[in-house]
Chain A
Amino acid sequence: MSEPLPMTPLRRLRDRLSLAQAALAVAAVALAGGVGTPSLLAVSGLVAVAWWRPLPAIPSVSAQRAWTALVLAALLATFARVVLRAELIDAGVDFLLLLVAQRMFNRQRAREHAQLLLLGSLLMVVGAVINTELSYPVLLGAYLVTAIMGLCANNLMAEGERLGARVMPVIDREGHARRRSLWRSAGGVAVVAGLGALLTFLLFPRFGVGVLLRGRLASEVRSGFSEDLELGGFGTIKSDATVVMRIRPDEPPGSDRTTWHLRGSSFDHYEGGRWQHGREGTPGPLQIAQGYRSVTDQGRPRLVRSPTRELSARPIPGFAASTRIAQATIVLEDIGAEVLLVPSDPVAVRVLSRGSFEALPIPVGARNHEVRLIRPPGPVQYRVVWRPDEPTRDELAAAGHPVVPSALGAYLQRSASLDPEVGRLAQRLAADATTRLHVVDAIMGHLRGYEYTLEQRVSDRVRDGADPIVGFLLDTRAGHCEYFATAMVVLLREVGVPARIVNGYYGAHHNAVGEFYAVRQADAHSWVEVHFGPLGWVTFDPTPPSGRYAGDDAPWWPAATELIDALRNSYLEHVIDYDLGKQLAALERLGLRRGDRPLDGMSRGWWLAALGLGLGLWLWRRAAARRRARVRPETRWMLAVLARVQQLGVPCEPHQSPQRIAERVRGAGIMGADELQRFVQRYEVVRFGPAPTNQARHDLRRLARATLRSLQHPRAGHDGTSSSGSM
């Protein structure tokens, strides 16, 4: 191994900056799930080794060959991954990470550092594609500053390498000593680059040609909500404060906590402690209606327009408030499910564009009133219309005991593994019920005697292989929302009432900073929907109220969490979702109207104020510059005379005194030499003598003018032509 490379201060600084910018870029990708943990660990280890080992002055030939072979192998593997498994981004990022490690091992010259900086910028570009989180702009800001400083330091080192060994030590020493000046300058460029980014972001038209669309890039987020429901498989979701939804209702409910049941999946088939989607569940394709995709009832869209042209829900006989609707805009994080969370009794949805980069997710169906869609990764934004009211108890009672149509047979399915004791319990509870509402009340009343707990208590019966819900109902009498909801559905079905379990979230926390309602992982919940004949499916929640709420907000610094969450929502709304429509709207807000409509008064005022401010700033800077460069009037006059002398072909060197120049003018035979002599004598008195009076200055000015008029080339005088400078 050759001698280690001496680590001078500037070289060390450049090393740190190169590494820091690469680390920031990797973080931007990793935080979006673009780097697999094994890759990240492997590269981190390699980089750590490269960082701490002494860097040889010249890399060994064998090491270089080994790296070349490794990079070639990695290139082939990357190509294979792209072709065979369509992992363009993942494979590309892994390859870039390997190159980063390789460069860290061979970073002796400026060229290698330039490559490291280039790799960093490529990773930041990848980050821009896959990272839609608030972390990206924060990392981008830090990256810009670090990378620009790194570029500056590397440029100095490159100059040293180019200009030779004699200059390098000077650059090394001075570059480190003068680094504050360099950073100031680099900081200025970073600010200008930031402004450029902002202007391009705001003004560059969004076309979104869409020749290349991204594939599956982002990873799925673990959620308390799941499309699979298995009793006993519940973790510690209730303590997870991660926000999964942000709801901005058109009409805020006026309380800090809402009681919305936000439904995701509903299940009809229960067997052995596991809920599944049965094939018999009610199909319900979405239909386009009023610009929305509407949920249908018997093939007719729920969303209609009232005679007053307002949107409303299709009326249901016997349900007075059935036409009233509520609307909200929801941003749903990628929770790993292809279902939109909508409030109970959804009417219609419309997915909103989140920028033209990706294809608009399309809602494809509403089996069991689930709104499913084909979605790209990342957050989805949508409008939702729902019925905020439920039938009153009188209306439910009036429905009596409706006949169950055969189409609802799936919701009467009974598990073969249930103990007959459960059926007897259900029969006993419903013995005195005369209406469906009474059956529901009886069963919910029975379950109110059960204990809510997140502990997974397992009875001996269950341990011996019995259905977990039997253990809950007959033995432990304690469990969480899934047990309560399952128990209620099972009991209802035992007595012939169609029911289904629904998985989703309950309630939302008001974020005062962002003016929206946040739903957290911890709000995941299960409840029950019971069919009431013509009134449709009605929501019932058998879980004790203490078990529905997940506690209040974030466990750590709720105010800060609320603020960050609001910032994130604002970022998604104003940055990630910024599109051509918003661009035009922003320009219109600035007063730029399409067509030939003039500026309105307010906009005109803003523009004039901005122009005035700019003009004032320019005048102020100009005046300041003049103050700094103030020249005595006598000097100004002398400079004008000297300029004239030079025009006549007499060179005026800086070291020559005016007296000497006057002599040279006389020697050159130029006309006006006498006037120049007089002017020079007077000038020296005014300029270097005691403080000159105004009269002395006035006389000097008069003399300067006379000199300028009289200074002429002899030939010009003969020809009768003349020229003079101006003062």
Chain B
Amino acid sequence: MGFAAINSGANLLHAIFGAQMTLILGSGVLSEATLRRVKVRRVLRGPLHASEPGLIDVELTNSDARRDVLAVSVEDDDDYEDPGHCEPVFAVRIGPRETLRLTARVVMPTRGRHDLPRAVVATRFPFGLFVKRRELPVDAEVLVYPRRVLARIGDRTTPHDGPPHGTGRRARDGEFLGLRAYRDGDELRRLHWPATARLGQPVVREHEAGTGARVRLTLRPGTAGDPAFEAEVEHAAAEAGLRLRDDGVRLELEYGDRVVVPAGSGPAQHRRVLDFLAEVG
């Protein structure tokens, strides 16, 4: 166009050439400005198991007080070959000072403590002529639990009659002992609703320590990445979950010849076991 305009001296070609150049430049500037205004935060919505999609919230905030942010995506950075993968999200419009929360699925192939896949916030707005992208800072590490497999009771767990656990008489399967304030990890089904409603804060029932089974889950030492050991870990995690689903079962985890997770029960104990199994080896 430029050559044709200069060659011919035709006025309309000059005008069209100017319009096209301005469109190209304007498109680049607009994309850049759009990207500068947007802030991104990624938050996992729940525990993450290896090779299984987990949910992640992507919060997009428009920091500008007057202008919209239009057509931005958050997607994996293809400059890096991260083993994990996060689904892209796309926001058509984020109003001034508005925060938009979009949900995507993230898959991490292996257990352990990992960075989330590197991501970029990108835009091709308005015309798709340019791709402007900004790398997002590396998020805090996430803990990926072992892959979930079909659980079965194996020989990893053995009944164990060791000394009573330090929780004393507080357990879940004995006689009713009293009420106490809800703590993180308590089962929701233990909520005492009338007391919760009366006091305005969650309250759970406590029971005397009963006579529930006490089992030890044993994991033979191994090296992370070794398929056999990985399979062991996955089955141990599954078995722990299965055992702890039963009321009154107190489970402890032994790794090698050492109890690495003291006996406990319920979902909180399950999480403690998974926390250990995520990084073992």
CA distance A128 to B1 in the complex (A): 11
Give which listed residue, A175, A178, A198, A206, contacts B15 with CB less than 8 A. Answer: A198
Closest chain B residue, CB of each to CB of A136: B12
Closest chain B residue, CB of each to CB of A209: B7
A197 touches B90 (CB 8 A): no
Question: Does A156 touch B at the CB level, under 8 Å?
Answer: yes
Least CB distance, B68 to chain A, in whole angstroms? 5
Least CB distance, A570 to chain B, in whole angstroms? 14
Question: Does B140 touch A at the CB level, under 8 Å?
Answer: no
Interface residues of A in 129-157 (CB under 8 A from B): 129, 131-132, 136, 140, 144, 148, 151-152, 154-156
Question: Does B87 touch A at the CB level, under 8 Å?
Answer: yes
CA distance A207 to B7 in the complex (A): 7
Give which listed residue, B10, B71, B87, B128, contacts A355 with CB less than 8 A. Answer: B10
B1-29 to A contact mask, C-beta < 8 Å, 1/0: 10011111111111111111111011100
Closest chain B residue, CB of each to CB of A629: B65
B18 touches A155 (CB 8 A): no
Question: Does A66 touch B at the CB level, under 8 Å?
Answer: no
Question: Does B125 touch A at the CB level, under 8 Å?
Answer: yes
Question: Does B70 touch A at the CB level, under 8 Å?
Answer: yes
CA distance A174 to B70 in the complex (A): 11
B102-131 to A contact mask, C-beta < 8 Å, 1/0: 000000000000000000000011111000
Stretch in contact with the other chain, from A181-189, A444-452, A718-726: A181-189
Interface residues of A in 639-696 (CB under 8 A from B): none
CA distance A201 to B12 in the complex (A): 8
Interface residues of A in 257-305 (CB under 8 A from B): none
Within 8 Å CB of A125, what residues of B?
A: 1, 4, 13, 16
B57-71 to A contact mask, C-beta < 8 Å, 1/0: 000000001101011
Question: Does A576 touch B at the CB level, under 8 Å?
Answer: yes
Question: Does A158 touch B at the CB level, under 8 Å?
Answer: yes
Within 8 Å CB of A210, what residues of B?
A: 7-9
A196 touches B93 (CB 8 A): no
Interface residues of A in 393-421 (CB under 8 A from B): none
Interface residues of A in 171-216 (CB under 8 A from B): 171, 174-175, 177-178, 181-182, 185-186, 189, 192-201, 204, 206-214
Question: Does B151 touch A at the CB level, under 8 Å?
Answer: no
B9 touches A357 (CB 8 A): yes
B92 touches A171 (CB 8 A): yes
A579 touches B18 (CB 8 A): no
B18 touches A198 (CB 8 A): yes
B11 touches A576 (CB 8 A): yes
Within 8 Å CB of A30, what residues of B?
A: none
Question: Does B40 touch A at the CB level, under 8 Å?
Answer: no
Question: Does B73 touch A at the CB level, under 8 Å?
Answer: yes
CA distance A121 to B13 in the complex (A): 12
Question: Does A163 touch B at the CB level, under 8 Å?
Answer: yes
Question: Does A170 touch B at the CB level, under 8 Å?
Answer: yes
A200 touches B14 (CB 8 A): yes
A207 touches B127 (CB 8 A): no
Interface residues of B in 68-82 (CB under 8 A from A): 68, 70-71, 73, 75
CA distance A623 to B208 in the complex (A): 68
CA distance A52 to B73 in the complex (A): 34
Within 8 Å CB of A355, what residues of B?
A: 9-11
Shortest Cβ-Cβ A-B pairs, 4 listed: A200-B18, A196-B22, A208-B9, A356-B9
Taking A125-B13, A171-B92, A185-B68 as known contacts, 7 extra A-B pairs with beta carbons closer than 8 A to each other, sorted by chain A number, are A159-B71, A178-B70, A196-B18, A201-B18, A204-B14, A207-B9, A356-B8
Q: What are 7 A-B residue pairs whose CB atoms fall within 8 Å in the complex?
A: A155-B71, A178-B70, A182-B92, A182-B126, A207-B6, A208-B8, A355-B9
Q: Which residues of A contact B (CB under 8 A)?
A: 110, 114, 121, 124-125, 128-129, 131-132, 136, 140, 144, 148, 151-152, 154-156, 158-160, 163-164, 166-167, 170-171, 174-175, 177-178, 181-182, 185-186, 189, 192-201, 204, 206-214, 355-357, 575-579, 628-629
